[in-house]
């Protein structure tokens, strides 16, 4: 009897197995390539924010943006978490505040694109400022504007403090914007200052943009403050690696010495 030209079941199974093996090998490669493309886009966003900040300084007598105290108070933003894009939008009044009174409103004339504030790897931030979500993936340093926030005025005696560019001796080492999270390098490790609990891996990268206009991804342990108070994360992107604000009693816990926080490079 003449044999047909079709495949046998064994041959089909072998082909399917080979395709499955190739897919298992290639899919992680494709995923890494896609994440690298997103990281490049994110770095570009941070660069644009840094350049927008420089243009803002040129228009406002070299003064850094600060919140509008009355507007912030009216929507319950006493600590600036909405202004700096750290918190989710809770209601329509806060949505209006994001569009008219936040750091987005102050930077947008120099950017003209809300999408710049959103990292492509951040699934909880949206350029159309949705209620219940964040308006951005990046964080404006509250150090630069907390003198105009009610919480800091009440607790810390910093009322009316407006920073000028000339007050920073090392602009290329002083960041203005930072990732809210390790968007493109989400790795964890046991951290000594969290009692062995998991936090961000010290070598995981976070993107920062600086006063001189450049942006770059750095290992978190080399660039931002160790935070024994921040469970699950272990780092506080509000502050640089060794900060003037670090209490003397906490210097050892965060891996700094008294001189580290007073060099002036990372206020």
Query: Does some domain include residue 154?
Result: yes
Query: Does some domain include residue 242?
Result: no
For 115-171, the pLDDT digits (tens) are 999 999 999 999 999 999 999 999 998 888 888 989 888 888 778 888 999 988 888
Query: Does some domain include residue 265?
Result: no
Sheet with 215-219, edge to edge strand ranges: 138-140, 175-179, 205-210, 215-219
User: How many domains, the chain?
Assistant: 1
Average pLDDT of span 50-70: 95
Q: 5 falls in which pLDDT band (50, 70, 90)?
A: low
Query: Does some domain include residue 135?
Result: yes
Cα–Cα distances in angstroms (integers) from residue 178 to residues 17, 20, 33, 134, 174, in the given order? 45, 40, 23, 15, 11
Q: What's the gap between Cα 166 and its chain centre? A: 25
For 192-251, the pLDDT digits (tens) are 989 999 999 999 999 999 999 999 999 999 888 888 889 999 998 888 887 655 555 555
Q: 262 falls in which pLDDT band (50, 70, 90)?
A: very low
Element spanning 66, H or E? none
Whether residue 132 contacts residue 52, with contact meaning beta carbons closer than 8 Å, is answered with no
Owning domain of residue 127 = 53-167
The residue ranges of DSSP E strands in 168-204, in sequence order, are 175-179, 188-190, 198-200
Residue with tokens 């790897």: 121
Query: Does some domain include residue 25?
Result: no
Global pTM exceeds 0.95: no
Say yes or no to pLDDT of 258 above 80: no
């Amino acid at each position: 009897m003449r044999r047909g030209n079709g495949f046998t079941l064994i041959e089909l199974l072998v082909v399917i197995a080979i395709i499955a093996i190739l897919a298992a090998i290639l899919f992680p490669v494709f995923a890494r390539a896609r994440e690298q493309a997103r990281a490049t886009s994110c770095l570009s966003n941070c660069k644009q924010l840094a350049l927008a900040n420089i243009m803002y300084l040129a228009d406002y007598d070299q003064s850094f943006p600060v919140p509008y105290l009355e507007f912030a108070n009216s929507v319950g933003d006493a600590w600036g978490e909405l202004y700096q894009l750290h918190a989710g939008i809770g209601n329509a009044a806060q949505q209006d505040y994001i569009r008219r009174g936040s750091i987005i409103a102050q930077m947008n004339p120099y950017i003209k694109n809300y999408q710049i504030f959103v990292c492509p790897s951040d699934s909880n931030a949206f350029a159309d400022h949705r209620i219940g979500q964040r308006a951005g993936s990046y964080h404006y340093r509250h150090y630069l504007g907390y003198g105009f926030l009610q919480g800091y005025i009440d607790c810390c005696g910093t009322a009316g403090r407006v920073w000028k560019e000339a007050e920073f001796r090392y602009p290329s080492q002083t960041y203005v914007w930072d990732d809210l999270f390790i968007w493109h390098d989400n790795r964890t490790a046991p951290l000594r200052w969290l009692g062995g609990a998991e936090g961000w891996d010290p070598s995981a990268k976070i993107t920062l943009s600086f006063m001189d206009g450049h942006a770059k991804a750095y290992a978190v342990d080399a660039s931002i403050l160790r935070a024994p108070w921040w469970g699950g994360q272990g780092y506080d992107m509000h502050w640089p690696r060794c900060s003037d604000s670090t209490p003397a009693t906490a210097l050892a816990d965060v891996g700094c010495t008294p001189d580290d926080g007073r060099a002036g490079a990372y206020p």
